[in-house]
Protein backbone atom coordinates (compact mmCIF):
# COMPACT_ATOMS: atom_id res chain seq x y z
CA UNK A 1 0.00 0.00 0.00
CA UNK A 2 1.53 3.29 -1.07
CA UNK A 3 1.01 6.41 0.97
CA UNK A 4 -0.99 7.79 -1.99
CA UNK A 5 -3.77 5.30 -1.11
CA UNK A 6 -4.11 6.56 2.46
CA UNK A 7 -6.65 9.04 3.74
CA UNK A 8 -5.12 12.48 4.19
CA UNK A 9 -5.64 12.75 7.94
CA UNK A 10 -6.55 10.75 11.02
CA UNK A 11 -7.93 12.93 13.82
CA UNK A 12 -7.06 11.77 17.31
CA UNK A 13 -10.28 12.12 19.29
CA UNK A 14 -10.32 9.49 22.05
CA UNK A 15 -8.29 9.03 25.21
CA UNK A 16 -7.08 5.65 23.91
CA UNK A 17 -5.78 7.27 20.73
CA UNK A 18 -4.13 10.09 22.67
CA UNK A 19 -2.41 7.61 25.01
CA UNK A 20 -1.21 5.66 21.97
CA UNK A 21 0.44 8.67 20.31
CA UNK A 22 1.80 10.02 23.60
CA UNK A 23 4.44 7.30 23.80
CA UNK A 24 7.82 8.20 22.30
CA UNK A 25 8.35 4.54 21.33
CA UNK A 26 5.05 4.44 19.45
CA UNK A 27 5.86 7.79 17.85
CA UNK A 28 9.08 6.23 16.53
CA UNK A 29 7.20 3.16 15.29
CA UNK A 30 4.82 5.42 13.37
CA UNK A 31 7.85 7.18 11.87
CA UNK A 32 9.04 3.80 10.54
CA UNK A 33 5.62 3.24 8.96
CA UNK A 34 5.42 6.77 7.55
CA UNK A 35 6.48 5.83 4.02
CA UNK A 36 6.11 2.07 3.66
CA UNK A 37 4.59 -0.94 5.38
CA UNK A 38 6.77 -3.04 7.67
CA UNK A 39 6.56 -6.25 9.69
CA UNK A 40 7.01 -6.48 13.44
CA UNK A 41 10.55 -7.78 12.86
CA UNK A 42 11.41 -4.87 10.55
CA UNK A 43 9.92 -2.35 12.97
CA UNK A 44 11.84 -3.88 15.89
CA UNK A 45 15.13 -3.66 13.97
CA UNK A 46 14.59 -0.07 12.85
CA UNK A 47 13.47 1.21 16.26
CA UNK A 48 15.90 -0.90 18.28
CA UNK A 49 13.32 -2.87 20.25
CA UNK A 50 12.82 -6.52 21.07
CA UNK A 51 10.22 -8.14 18.79
CA UNK A 52 7.90 -8.68 21.76
CA UNK A 53 8.01 -5.01 22.72
CA UNK A 54 7.54 -3.97 19.12
CA UNK A 55 4.53 -6.27 18.81
CA UNK A 56 2.98 -4.88 22.01
CA UNK A 57 3.31 -1.26 20.86
CA UNK A 58 2.03 -2.02 17.34
CA UNK A 59 -1.02 -3.79 18.82
CA UNK A 60 -1.82 -0.68 20.89
CA UNK A 61 -1.48 1.52 17.81
CA UNK A 62 -3.67 -0.87 15.81
CA UNK A 63 -6.33 -1.00 18.54
CA UNK A 64 -6.38 2.81 18.56
CA UNK A 65 -6.87 2.83 14.76
CA UNK A 66 -3.57 4.60 14.03
CA UNK A 67 -1.99 1.71 12.11
CA UNK A 68 -3.49 -1.21 10.25
CA UNK A 69 -2.53 -4.46 8.58
CA UNK A 70 -2.26 -3.81 4.85
CA UNK A 71 -0.94 -7.16 3.65
CA UNK A 72 -0.14 -10.64 4.90
CA UNK A 73 1.99 -13.48 3.61
CA UNK A 74 2.87 -16.99 4.75
CA UNK A 75 6.49 -17.54 5.75
CA UNK A 76 7.37 -21.08 6.89
CA UNK A 77 3.82 -21.69 8.09
CA UNK A 78 3.58 -18.39 9.98
CA UNK A 79 1.45 -15.47 8.82
CA UNK A 80 3.57 -12.36 8.52
CA UNK A 81 1.64 -9.07 8.81
CA UNK A 82 2.70 -5.81 7.20
CA UNK A 83 1.55 -2.71 9.05
CA UNK A 84 1.09 0.80 7.67
CA UNK A 85 -0.17 4.12 8.95
CA UNK A 86 -3.94 4.56 8.84
CA UNK A 87 -3.53 8.02 7.25
CA UNK A 88 -0.84 10.28 5.81
CA UNK A 89 -1.05 12.63 8.79
CA UNK A 90 -2.08 12.27 12.40
CA UNK A 91 -3.92 15.35 13.69
CA UNK A 92 -3.67 15.85 17.43
CA UNK A 93 -6.18 17.79 19.50
CA UNK A 94 -5.21 21.16 20.90
CA UNK A 95 -3.48 20.43 24.22
CA UNK A 96 -5.41 23.20 25.90
CA UNK A 97 -4.14 25.91 28.17
CA UNK A 98 -0.95 24.82 29.87
CA UNK A 99 -1.17 21.31 28.42
CA UNK A 100 1.96 19.69 27.05
CA UNK A 101 2.15 19.46 23.29
CA UNK A 102 2.93 15.79 22.59
CA UNK A 103 4.26 16.51 19.12
CA UNK A 104 6.80 19.04 20.38
CA UNK A 105 7.95 16.73 23.20
CA UNK A 106 8.56 13.95 20.66
CA UNK A 107 10.31 16.33 18.27
CA UNK A 108 12.71 17.48 20.98
CA UNK A 109 13.38 13.87 22.02
CA UNK A 110 14.08 12.92 18.40
CA UNK A 111 16.36 15.93 17.97
CA UNK A 112 18.27 15.05 21.14
CA UNK A 113 18.63 11.43 19.95
CA UNK A 114 19.78 12.38 16.44
CA UNK A 115 23.28 11.50 15.30
CA UNK A 116 25.92 13.65 16.92
CA UNK A 117 27.94 15.59 14.38
CA UNK A 118 25.25 15.09 11.73
CA UNK A 119 23.89 18.03 9.77
CA UNK A 120 21.04 19.73 11.61
CA UNK A 121 19.23 22.98 10.99
CA UNK A 122 17.68 24.24 14.20
CA UNK A 123 16.52 27.78 14.70
CA UNK A 124 14.18 29.69 16.92
CA UNK A 125 13.08 33.14 15.88
CA UNK A 126 10.96 35.59 17.82
CA UNK A 127 8.80 37.56 15.43
CA UNK A 128 6.40 40.47 15.65
CA UNK A 129 3.73 40.01 13.01
CA UNK A 130 0.32 41.31 12.15
CA UNK A 131 -2.46 38.73 12.31
CA UNK A 132 -2.44 38.66 8.50
CA UNK A 133 1.32 38.04 8.37
CA UNK A 134 0.97 35.37 11.06
CA UNK A 135 -1.72 33.58 9.04
CA UNK A 136 0.27 33.89 5.79
CA UNK A 137 3.37 32.43 7.42
CA UNK A 138 1.34 29.51 8.75
CA UNK A 139 0.00 28.79 5.26
CA UNK A 140 3.51 29.02 3.75
CA UNK A 141 4.99 26.68 6.36
CA UNK A 142 2.27 24.09 5.74
CA UNK A 143 2.72 24.40 1.97
CA UNK A 144 6.48 23.97 2.28
CA UNK A 145 6.07 20.86 4.44
CA UNK A 146 3.53 19.43 1.95
CA UNK A 147 5.81 20.21 -1.00
CA UNK A 148 8.73 18.33 0.51
CA UNK A 149 6.54 15.48 1.75
CA UNK A 150 5.56 14.92 -1.89
CA UNK A 151 9.27 14.75 -2.82
CA UNK A 152 10.01 12.17 -0.10
CA UNK A 153 11.60 8.95 -1.32
CA UNK A 154 11.32 5.95 1.06
CA UNK A 155 14.75 4.72 -0.08
CA UNK A 156 16.44 7.83 1.34
CA UNK A 157 17.36 8.42 5.01
CA UNK A 158 14.74 9.98 7.24
CA UNK A 159 14.67 13.71 7.82
CA UNK A 160 12.25 15.34 10.24
CA UNK A 161 10.73 18.77 9.82
CA UNK A 162 8.99 20.27 12.83
CA UNK A 163 7.67 23.77 13.15
CA UNK A 164 5.58 25.61 15.66
CA UNK A 165 4.13 29.01 14.95
CA UNK A 166 2.27 30.38 17.93
CA UNK A 167 1.60 33.41 20.06
CA UNK A 168 3.30 33.05 23.47
CA UNK A 169 1.15 33.60 26.52
CA UNK A 170 0.87 37.33 27.34
CA UNK A 171 2.59 36.88 30.71
CA UNK A 172 5.64 35.40 28.97
CA UNK A 173 5.81 38.41 26.65
CA UNK A 174 5.67 40.79 29.60
CA UNK A 175 8.38 38.89 31.50
CA UNK A 176 10.58 38.81 28.40
CA UNK A 177 10.14 42.56 27.86
CA UNK A 178 11.09 43.17 31.51
CA UNK A 179 14.19 40.99 31.13
CA UNK A 180 15.21 42.75 27.91
CA UNK A 181 14.86 46.16 29.57
CA UNK A 182 17.28 45.27 32.39
Q: What angle do CA 19, 94, 15 make, to 5 degrees?
A: 25
Kindly tell me if the per-residue pLDDT of 41 is higher than 90: yes
- Closest by CA position to 66, among listed 19, 109, 104, 99: 19
The per-residue pLDDT for 160 is 82
Per residue in 74-127, pLDDT (tens digit) is: 888 889 999 999 998 888 877 765 556 777 787 888 888 887 888 888 888 888
**pTM listed for this prediction:** 0.67
Cα–Cα distances in angstroms (integers) from residue 103 to residues 95, 99, 131, 150, in the given order: 10, 12, 24, 21
Kindly tell me if the per-residue pLDDT of 6 is higher than 80: no
Mean pLDDT of the chain: 84
Amino acid sequence: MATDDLPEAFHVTTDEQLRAVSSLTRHRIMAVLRFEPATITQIAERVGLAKGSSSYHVRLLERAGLVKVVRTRKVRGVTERYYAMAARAIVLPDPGEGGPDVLMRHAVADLEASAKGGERHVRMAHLRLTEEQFAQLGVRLHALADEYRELSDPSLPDASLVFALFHPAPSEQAEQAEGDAK
